[in-house]
Amino acid sequence: MKNSLQNALCALDALERNARAESPMHRLDARAKLLATTVYLVTMLSVPLPQLSEILLYALFPMATATLGGMRLGPLLRRSLAVLPFVALIGIFNLLYDRTPALRIGTLTVTEGGIEFAAILLRGILSMAALLVLIGTTGFYALCRALQQSGIPRFLTVQLLFVYRYLRVLLEEALAMSRACDARSFGRKHPALRVWGTLVGQLLLRTFDRAEQIHRAMLARGFTGRIPDCTAGKPRWRRADTAFLTGWSLALIAARWSYPVETLTRLFR
């Protein structure tokens, strides 16, 4: 468990370090990246499930933006796969109930439900990848501030930011308790089953106490329930932001309504 907690903290640190890097994507305004990602999610998720090849075409957006942001595609794909169990739980019903034959590959018959199941999995992976690129090239604080500037109610944006901060507090307290438990376990790899209830209760109390201390510190520094807009290094909207948002929005909307893969297939036939 200790290794898993350390890996989770390292992943959060890596995400924050990457958000402070320098690249064409990092220099864009957070609102431009947020709106472009929103257009991408809306257009990609609105593609009908049987159009698997059209959904596959939308992999270009996270790949291109990740490359512009200096993010490696291998780790991005591995992190995106974390959503697979949850998405598979949703799509498994399509696989079970829709058994209409769609195509045959040798002796293997692929059903309509199988194609829809694959499309749901692909949608989940691509959505997760696009969000990881957005957070990794923007930073969670700047992203919440962009949401607030875009008109999202401030109680939602502040709650999102607090959940992210509280997650780190929770991981740090859990890691400290895990180390203390290992130091008192006398060589046992895992604590006894009766100890787990006490550990969870103590973890909840410790994180509540730590969060209350952080909240007092924020109030002492002038926190008013709103994410401050005036921050050092805040980027301004430039022509590059307009070009990025307009270009990707037009390309994504055109891909949604023109079905380019199907059109090219018909031309070759």
Assess if residue 63 is contained within a domain. Answer: yes
Query: What per-residue confidence (pLDDT) applies to 216?
Result: 87
Separation of alpha carbons 170 and 166, rounded Å: 6
Assess if residue 11 is contained within a domain. Answer: no
Assess if residue 55 is contained within a domain. Answer: yes
Under 8 Å between Cβ of 124 and 49: no
DSSP label at 111? E
User: What range defines the domain where residue 104 resides?
Assistant: 19-139+233-255
Assess if residue 29 is contained within a domain. Answer: yes
**pLDDT one-digit tens code per residue, 203-249:** 788 778 877 888 888 888 887 777 776 544 555 788 999 999 999 99
- For helices 112-138 and 73-80, what crossing angle results, to 10°? 120
Assess if residue 208 is contained within a domain. Answer: no
Helix (H) or strand (E) holding 230: none
Under 8 Å between Cβ of 9 and 171: yes
Q: Which residues of the chain have pLDDT under 70?
A: 1-3, 185-195, 229-235, 269
**pLDDT one-digit tens code per residue, 169-185:** 788 878 887 777 777 76
Query: What per-residue confidence (pLDDT) applies to 258?
Result: 84
Q: What is the DSSP string of 171-183?
A: HHHHHHHHHHHHH
**Per the structure, how many domains does the chain have?**
1
Assess if residue 66 is contained within a domain. Answer: yes
Assess if residue 267 is contained within a domain. Answer: no
Query: What per-residue confidence (pLDDT) applies to 232?
Result: 47
Centre a 10 Å sphere on the Cβ of residue 113 and count the other Cβ atoms it contains: 20
Query: What per-residue confidence (pLDDT) applies to 62?
Result: 94
DSSP bridge pairs for 111: 101
Separation of alpha carbons 233 and 231, rounded Å: 6
Query: What per-residue confidence (pLDDT) applies to 13?
Result: 76
